[in-house]
Structure 1
Amino acid sequence: MSSSDLEKNALDVSEKDVAVGYAEPAAAHDVSLYGRIQTFANSYAMEARGVERVPEDERTDTSLLRPGFFFFSINMVVTCLSTGALGPQVGLQFWDSLCVIVFFTALGTLPVAWFSLFGPKLGFRQMLLGRYWFGFYGAKIFTFLNLISCVGWSAISTIVGAQMLHTVAADHNVPPWAGVLMITIMAFVLTLFGYRVVHTYEKYSWLPTLIIMFVIIARLKMSGAFTTGTLATGTIEAGSVLTFGSVIFGGAAGWTTFATDYVVYQPKNTNLYKLFAVVFFSIYVPIVFVELIGLSCFMGTFTSERFAQGYNDNSMGGLLYAILVQDSLHGFGSFCLVILALSTVGGTCPNNYSFGLSIQALAGIFNKIPRIIWAIISSGLFIAVSIPAYYSFEEYMEDFMGIMGYWVTSYISIATIEHLLIRRGFGGYNFDDYNDPSKLPPGYSTLFAFLVGVGAMVVGMSQTWWTGPLATLAKGDIGFEITLGFSALAYVLARPLEYKYFGR
């Protein structure tokens, strides 16, 4: 076969492959652009595998420490400091904010641990697995939303790191965009090498961050600025709890749509109880720990004018600068801030990695573009969103994390009901069906349940740009709670009828 024939065969994906969203990888000696990129990836030990199912003979990662360290590390980041600091900003004090963090983080972590079990059992990435629950076309709704989530989460992580770099380098006139660019490039390079390198990086990156967290605790204690405030009661207090709870839930539950991506190389016979426990606690513990530190730091702004000024000038980066550098540790404090800033790379890598997988699951034509190219494109999007969002960070973070909680609850409720009610467990999945729309759910009940959930979200949400009538009555955000309930109810009513009529 001539080289021109090879190139033609590599680029001409059949209509059936495009329709079902899958195209075969390039041949070993492919001279097309696709083949050359894949060859380049292989030569530098980059992960060339795309969104396709991982076969059982390749699932050889038997260590549960790997996913444990991974999830622990991506949540042992300064982003959670900023999340914890939002409690007092919506009207809560220390003790009620603490209760919200402890309870709603557990609520948001449960679905992540639950969906992680599907990785070793089925071998599918999270977005491809969604085709069994939502149908081939219905899954595109959640895949598209997941792409937006990847960009949004990376922007949050990148901005927090950039705030700290900007604060430390303020005397050198380093602009915020420079910090955004530095963190994004570092995450991009790590992401290129895929699953194993990302896991290896996350295995160790949490340790310096944890040490610095204890340094922050010590310096905050020595400053004498910490205060618990006064515990309030009443309708307004309850509304603030709901609003802050929505943010905390969204922060933890946001990992749901990435869950299997990082355990998919675990063997099929993995102990699911142990995996569930490992994933749950490796997410729950660091989030609660770091968010409580962020909450405690912000409480210091009520008694220290220097802390308050630092936060007003440069958000969490300025507050930590006041705690660790000014009248404190000076040069060593600046070093700690730089290390904390770079820790956000760990929180950005998974979003970059999952973006490439999600875009390939969205449409068959995107499989003709190697995952390496998608890593470049996603990094560009992260930069484009991060720089303008930098200047209104608290508002951006609160709105984004709240909205995450809304749509993820629809995802959780529909997928869980389909798995338990229709699939009746892991035995109800035919591995060959994910490429065949005629053997997957039609998706009408998914669309119906999702739209019902959107309607519930609109009337129950409380954001800076919209407050629904039920949120007004509740004096707080109840969007994710009623979205979960109404999506589940709509799907339970519609899906059995759809299954009876279509037989799938």
Structure 2
Amino acid sequence: MGQNLEPDLEKAPGVGSAPCNVPYEESTGAVPGETFVYGDSLYAKIQRIAGKLRIEQRGIERVPENERTDTSYLNIGSMWLAANMVVSSFAIGVLGKSVFYLGFVDAILVVLFFNLLGVMTVCYFSCFGPVFGLRQMVLSRFWFGWWGVKLIAIFNILACIGWSSVNVIVGAQLINAVNSNVPGFAGIIIIAVCTFLVTLFGYKVVHAYEYWSWIPTFIIFMIILGVFAHSGDFVNIPMGVGTSELGGILSFGSTVYGFATGWTSYAADYTVYQPSSQSRRKVFLSTWIGLIVPLLFTEMLGVAVMTATSLNDGNNAYQAGYNAAGTGGLLGAVLFPRLGGFGKFCVVILALSIVANNCPNIYSVALTLQVLGRWTQRVPRFIWTFLGTCVYVAISIPGYANFEAVLENFMNFIGYWLAIYEGIALTDHFVFKRGFAGYRPEIYDQPKRLPPGIAAVLAFCCGIAGMVTGMSQKWWVGPIALHAGEAPFGGDVGFELGFAFAAVGYLILRPIELRIFKR
């Protein structure tokens, strides 16, 4: 089969010298859908095995129109519904009181408004997938250039691995809350293996899993809400504001924003098999509903249950549970006394919900690794998926004991760098390309025809400068952040300033780059 064809990848889209506007099937006479299996190279042999196992073979190569068979808007919405209807979202709400000392009312308002802001870029960039058939990091080449995007890819790899580590720690805490004899590392490995098995098979299996997996998790969260409300503790929780006021609101807002906008850097990955005829408004709306509903529901529930640790009843079971096993212990304090064994079953289901949350991270980290160079693209996506799984397991096991500090710092990191990325991408899209018509998707893998990326990288540095002046961490408080709240930590405005500095910097630098390089 294919003896007269090239024995390797040299004519595959995005790897060799074949014209990028000519599908691989047309340039070689290959059968559509069998793009990656020809020749005698190791890559081709591995891909043939993958094809027999029904594993997705395509990586970051542009998806041709004849392969875009996913026409369901429900697939888009359910993808994000399942990924956020998880205990990790609940844990974000818990931070409102445990870390930032906010009361119920101010924490609820922060969750509402910062989520509404954070999801917008995820929704908008999801519309790029059907239009261009390109993954999010590949699309970023049109803003950052062939070389500059590698910097963004590194940040995204760190984000994917970090998200996965944080999430499995939450799940392991829940398993430990059910049975203290199960060590943290065992829970981490169980969840990681389940996630790998889903992501191994690729886009269709990930979407199929997410389509249904939110249902049992939603039922469990409704049980938690019902039990908590029936106990009377929901009525009795303090409804006032907290002690940290503006500084705590801004800092918690940065954390909430980081969680909501964290999907931005791989938003288009999950719509590339949608046909270009899909309505962008409906893609946007389905993504928005899929994100905002679970985020608000789970985080507000987390705020409410954590606020119950303030009840002064002499023997606060919520505080005791939280002290014993973090988020898992807090949920256990709601469910175990009233539901017994069934309550433990509910917590186990919540622990396994982490799989739905981690699937996008581990699927996309493989695609991002392929952006780093021609040689990384020659490694099949599913192998990178396996290696990424090994890395985040190795990180999460030692991080298990310091989860809360890891979660707070990591959420802020996500919000910072993505705000800078968004500032540059949106500025280029609306000001310089003037919408979708300004792109030439056929040059996505031609370095000499893509933007040089110098303006974007320098603007990214401007964004970092803004971030540094506005960030508020235990190890650094920027001069602007110091005046945005109470001493000694002020209030975190790092993502707002990062976005603004990057956007303004790009507005100044991009015209100069265009004048010099003409591209």
Q: Specify the TM-score bucket, using the shorter chain as the normaliser.
A: over 0.9
CA distance in 2, matches of 1:232, 1:347: 31
Task: Quote the residue 1:311 is aligned against.
Answer: 322
**Secondary structure of the corresponding residue to residue 229 of structure 1:** coil
Cα displacement (A) at 1:390? 1.3
Residues 277-356 of structure 1 aligned to structure 2 (within 5 Å):
277-303=285-311, 305-325=316-336, 327-356=337-366
* 1:317-466 matches, cutoff 5 A: 317-325=328-336, 327-466=337-476
Give me the whole-angstrom Cα distance separating, in 1, the residues matched to 2:35 and 2:404: 45
Give the aligned partner of residue 37 of structure 2: 28
User: In structure 1, what is the Cα distance between the partners aligned to 2:167 and 2:73?
Assistant: 26
Query: 2:510 corresponds to which letter in structure 1?
Result: R
Greater RCO, CA 8 A, separation 6+: 1
For structure 2, the residue ranges without an aligned partner over 5 or more in a row are 25-33, 485-489
CA deviations over 1:273-308 (Å, ceiling 9, x no partner) = 111111112101100100011111111111252211
Task: Report the Cα offset of residue 442 of structure 1.
Answer: 1.0
Q: Are residues 1:52 and 2:61 paired?
A: yes
Q: Residues 6-45 of structure 1 correspond to what in structure 2 (within 5 A)? A: 9-10=7-8, 17=15, 28-45=37-54
2:496 aligned residue (481, 489, 495): 481
Distance 1:315 1:52, change over 3 A: same
Report deviation, 1:29. Answer: 4.7
Runs of 4+ in 1 over 6 A off after TM superposition: 11-14
In 2, Cα distance between the equivalents of 1:394 and 1:254?
Answer: 18
User: Partners of 1:28 and 1:68 in 2: how far apart?
Assistant: 33
Identify which of 114, 139, 142 aligns with 2:124: 114
**Mean alpha-carbon deviation: is it higher for 297-306 or for 358-367?**
297-306
Q: Per the alignment, do residues 61 and 12 of structure 1 end up closer, same or farther by CA in structure 2, a change over 3 Å counting?
A: closer
Structure 1: distance between partners of 2:159 and 2:399: 15
SS of aligned partner of 1:135: helix
Asked if structure 1 preserves the Cα contact closer than 8 Å seen for 2:102 and 2:242, the reply is no
Report what 1:204 is aligned to: 212
Q: Is the 8 A contact 2:47 2:57 kept in 1?
A: yes
Distance in 2 of aligned mates of 1:18 and 1:151: 29
Q: Judge which range, 187-196 or 416-425, deviates more.
A: 416-425
Q: Please give the alpha-carbon distance, in whole angstroms, between the structure 1 residues aligned to 2:40 and 2:339.
A: 57
Can you list the C-alpha shifts for 1:39-97, whole angstroms capped at 9, x where unaligned? Answer: 12111111010111111121121110111111111000000111001111202100100
- SS for the counterpart of 1:92 is coil
Corresponding residue of 1:261: 269
Letter in 2 for 1:231: G
Q: Give the Å deviation of 1:229.
A: 2.4
Aligned to 1:81: 90
Q: Which has the higher helix share?
A: 1
The 1:341/1:27 distance shift into structure 2, 3 A limit, reads closer
Distance in 2, matches of 1:427 and 1:117, equals 13
Which amino acid in 2 is paired with 1:53? Answer: R
Q: 1:38 & 1:467 partners in 2: Cα distance?
A: 50
Superposed, which structure 2 residues align to 1:162-173 within 5 Å? 162-170=172-180, 173=181
Secondary structure of 2:146's aligned partner? coil
Contact kept, 8 Å, 1:180 with 1:386, in 2: the verdict is yes
Give, in angstroms, the shift of residue 13 of structure 1.
Answer: 8.9
Distance 1:247 1:483 in 2: 15
TM-score (norm 2): 0.91
Alignment-mate amino acid for residue 238 of structure 1: L
Cα offset for 1:18?
Answer: 7.3
Query: Measured at CA, do residues 27 and 139 of structure 1 come closer, stay the same or move farther in structure 2, by a change above 3 Å?
Result: closer
Distance across 2 between alignment mates of 1:52 and 1:18 = 11
In structure 1, how many angstroms separate the alpha carbons of the residues matched to 2:143 and 2:132?
A: 13
Report the Cα distance in structure 2 between the residues aligned to 1:120 and 1:60, rounded to whole angstroms: 11
Equivalent-residue separation in structure 1 for 2:276 and 2:396 (angstroms): 39
Please tell me whether the aligned partners of residues 93 and 302 of structure 2 are also in contact (alpha carbons under 8 angstroms): yes
Alignment of 1:181-196 (within 5 A): 181-196=189-204
Paired with 2:242 and 2:83, the residues of 1 have a C-alpha distance of 35
Residue 178 and residue 18 in structure 1: after superposition, are their counterparts in 2 closer, same or farther (change >3 A)? Answer: farther
- The equivalent of 2:160 in structure 1 is 150
Distance 1:285 1:394 in 2: 25
Residues 309, 27 of structure 1: CA spacing in aligned structure 2 closer, same or farther, 3 A cutoff? closer
When normalised by structure 1's length, the TM-score is 0.94
Q: Secondary structure at the match of 1:424?
A: coil
Taking the aligned partners of 1:372 and 1:267, their CA distance within structure 2 comes to 24
2:237–2:310 Cα contact (<8 Å) kept: no
Determine helix, strand or coil for the equivalent of 1:124.
coil
1:138 is paired with a residue whose SS is helix
Q: Secondary structure at the match of 1:442?
A: coil
The alignment partner of 1:264 has SS state of: coil
Q: Give the aligned CA root-mean-square deviation in angstroms.
A: 2.3
Match of 2:510 in 1: 495
